[in-house]
Structure 1
């Protein structure tokens, strides 16, 4: 993907807002990365630099999501699969993580290229429950992508604690049949634990679709579906460097 370069003549509306936000965060991002190279803890470093630049809560959260300690970067990048690499493989999706990220993409919310090579948004971080209903368009986009990339089977795993997850799982199963995709959608009261366990099993060799860093750290192979869709659509993420 090429870098995001926007001329002043092309800036308008959300594009202008995103570009101004990027420019504001570039210097803090560089300072945080420089300090992290000395081994200082990430969250304390972000707080220290953000206090110095008098950043808002949203701006601090963006920096926390985008910037990674050096010891995490190489490991996570090495786990990332090519978009075409899941043919005839078993795929396990971190349901809300993937669907809500794709929903943000389709709604033209800022999508950030993070230091560990994954695409993340910041729109739903504080409240998944409030935003988990109107995602049919995102589901269609994901299923269309999967129908063309040909995984052997697909499992959508949803957090049972989020309201109406069971209903959404049923709807996903119905849509999977429409697209001719083999697999299932189900809920779990320990979704993160299951994702880590299944994705980290050397016997099952399951590909995990997520951008959750903690889950990525436990996985063997990871697919970044929002990044795949952005590449196909010709959409560039925002890069803080």
Structure 2
């Protein structure tokens, strides 16, 4: 195990901890929602709003993650399930999306609550997934949720092209076997498309998946409340 975290970047405290910066980001999110609701493109909108408020690159990244149009927000909310809806069902989990978000949260990186009620981080996988100190605890949190949900089974979906996806698959399968969990892990070339088209219930905070899926569950929101997780949270609206 390498001594590494999924933590925040140098400079993130300056960008996200002061009330002045948070107030500015909230105004930016409001402006983004106005533009997106009128069918302006996301990239052009975030550049326009970013320039107006003199946002830094990571602030614009957070802005994009937190923003959605009024229709998107309504659509996503209409498909959001409660924990009681999961009983006896199969859950498909967007592997890297959920795992990296939980690792970031446990590393005390900044987590952003968007207008759709979803939580997102600023970490990403760029071709390779590297296990961190918080990986084990993140998997344990998913197990805690799974037991409480009384779901029938849970299927983790990972990006096959990402290096080390096979390794994390084996780690999760070993954990499931040791803890007698009805889990499976699948590697897909296009996980977003696979989840949107094949899964009745998904766990993800990926905007495109939420727009195109049938039903979804806000796992990180649930865990924050249910497990009383300590979160470096920035509420963006």
Please give the range of the TM-score, normalised by the shorter of the 2 chains: 0.7 to 0.9
Separation in structure 2 between the aligned mates of residue 16 and residue 232 of structure 1, nearest angstrom: 29
User: What's the TM-score, normalizing by structure 2?
Assistant: 0.84
**Which runs of no fewer than 5 residues in structure 2 stay unpaired?**
1-11
The equivalent of 2:60 in structure 1 is: 60
> How do 1:1-241 and structure 2 match up within 5 A?
17-20=16-19, 21-122=21-122, 124-125=123-124, 127=126, 129-132=128-131, 134=133, 135-199=135-199, 206-234=200-228, 235=230, 237-241=233-237
Does the C-alpha gap of structure 1 residues 219 and 52 become closer, same or farther in structure 2, counting only changes over 3 Å?
same
What is the Cα-based RMSD across aligned positions, in Å? 2.4
How many pairs were matched up? Answer: 222
Separation in structure 2 between the aligned mates of residue 66 and residue 227 of structure 1, nearest angstrom: 14
The equivalent of 1:9 in structure 2 is: none
2:34, 2:69 within 8 Å by CA — same for their partners in 1? no
Separation in structure 1 between the aligned mates of residue 97 and residue 23 of structure 2, nearest angstrom: 27
1:147, 1:180 within 8 Å by CA — same for their partners in 2? no
SS at match of 2:163: coil
The structural deviation recorded for 1:36 is 3.6
Separation in structure 2 between the aligned mates of residue 186 and residue 80 of structure 1, nearest angstrom: 24
Residue by residue over 1:45-95, the C-alpha shift from the partner in whole angstroms, topping out at 9 and shown as x without a partner, is: 221121122211101111111011122110011111113431111111111
Does the C-alpha gap of structure 1 residues 127 and 23 become closer, same or farther in structure 2, counting only changes over 3 Å?
farther
Of 133-142 and 95-104, more deviation after overlay is shown by 133-142
Separation in structure 1 between the aligned mates of residue 14 and residue 56 of structure 2, nearest angstrom: 20
Separation in structure 2 between the aligned mates of residue 15 and residue 146 of structure 1, nearest angstrom: 37
